[in-house]
A and B are shown apart, each in its own frame.
Chain A
């Protein structure tokens, strides 16, 4: 199927670049050049190899709170925000998703102009690629996701890495909130667990490239299946509708992947030639038997998943077998599919193949859609909550009153996303104080232009969305608009119901 890719932030930009490289390497052209990258700091743009320069959009560079200065030895905002002290000096939005969202809201006209470079009628789906722990990835990513959902009819997916255990609690906090933001908005979210893929001996930053490569391989096997040679037809070929239907249930998805070599010895080639010439009646022995295919599917099932999870919690499954069609046993294909049905307990298992006549290996790629038992997400949430409480405790003394009033406003908003039984839950702890603090830190005096941009760009914004005092701007219970307090964050408040 055809996908448009939207990289956001450093991590997202790098991964999109890697996906484009993989596209070139495998000959599976699945973007048709429909790519864009957004960043608040120009740094990651310099590291790209394949992503065209004119498709790299720098935003927020005129925003007073956005730091474009890059220290000579800085690792970039996605890696050095671990220490809170370096925050003010790191480029971009310094790991602050509220600021990221604000910048994106301010620059919506710019973003929209850039989106014109991508033709959504040429693609089957769009994908936002962003690091879940980064301020740009999550902040700008959220706004972009909302925007894409409101202008596109095609599904919009999100792909991105979750921060590792040795990254800061702040990033874990951002990631937990990103999951909370992306999932209701996007048609499906594909997080990658860096922890599961990192090798403890090396610093994570040095492994990004390998992990990105691993992700790219899986993404192309899944989404670009059949794009290398659309002329090859197979009876059980996977259709874009198959992938889209599998992902249509939403939630988080995970990918497993495994390969085996096929026999390409001389006898094999000769036999195949004989077959071509009509000299051999039966399919030669090179054909990989049913048991081997079933084993391959089992290894994909048991492989290290992009997001480790309990596969029995999956909702729908898709399996793609890529390789020489003359080597894949159909019985193996069927029993492999049935194995997935038995192991996952779901009956919605679609299977297809990608004929690659000259491939030297057979690859099984399994997509587990809507997995709901994901220990890593629980872990992230625990860390995030602990971090948030810590932050709240620090600032509670300063402005208790603001906190309580602000909480009411957010509670009204959050009720749309939260299950009914939790809608009346008192929000004693939330990001308001932190946002207030950020607003202060990044200069709350820039309010006027922000407020204007916000009114222009978010059609469903409440009329009083430009309220600039520190208390709740909108407390009406039926409003979906997350109008948050704090001068600088007003613009970040956008409707969360646009995706519906």
Chain B
């Protein structure tokens, strides 16, 4: 509230808040300008001013797509599908025990085992699948198998995180009812907990499969199999008509997998 000759005037904020806000904004803008300066220094502006010409040139070369190249793409598409699906299955097999160890109500030890499980979840989640693929190619050699393992490791964190949140949100009274019948630890798990998280589990699996289809299309860029290998080869030989065809195929794969996943999740939930 600020008073003037005609009485108090309504203001959104008082003077001190306004000043603090201005200062924070000033600091933010300064940081942004410094960042922009860094980017600008590292840029060859001559190329940037030439960009419209280059873009139209590339577009001219890339159209129309070379449809006959499609014959070479069916095997990579099959490989891509396998990387995503087998990777997702592998991830789920590994994620289920980790999720049970990480959930507060099922973990054997909150003090020792839960932090380890949470660490695995964070570590696998924060590193991109392309980096996992790079690492695995250095270790086990290029190919589809490296892609499957990369997708599997990358997906553990995501699946385990969503799954352990689902486990923590279960209805405890059902578990108690099963316990009251004298069930063993495993029987409680199978009859009390698993039926409650099954819909969430199926939803997570399909959701992650959709994301993995996206990711496996580009894994080939670093040599981990799938359609990305063809993309990389076409880019290296500047075969733009092939590049545009591959991009169209990837786009179609992404749209189809999203549609399938939405349908299946709609059916489950």
Do the two shown chains form a genuine complex with each other?
Answer: no
Chain B interface residues toward A at CB < 8 A: none
Chain A interface residues toward B at CB < 8 A: none
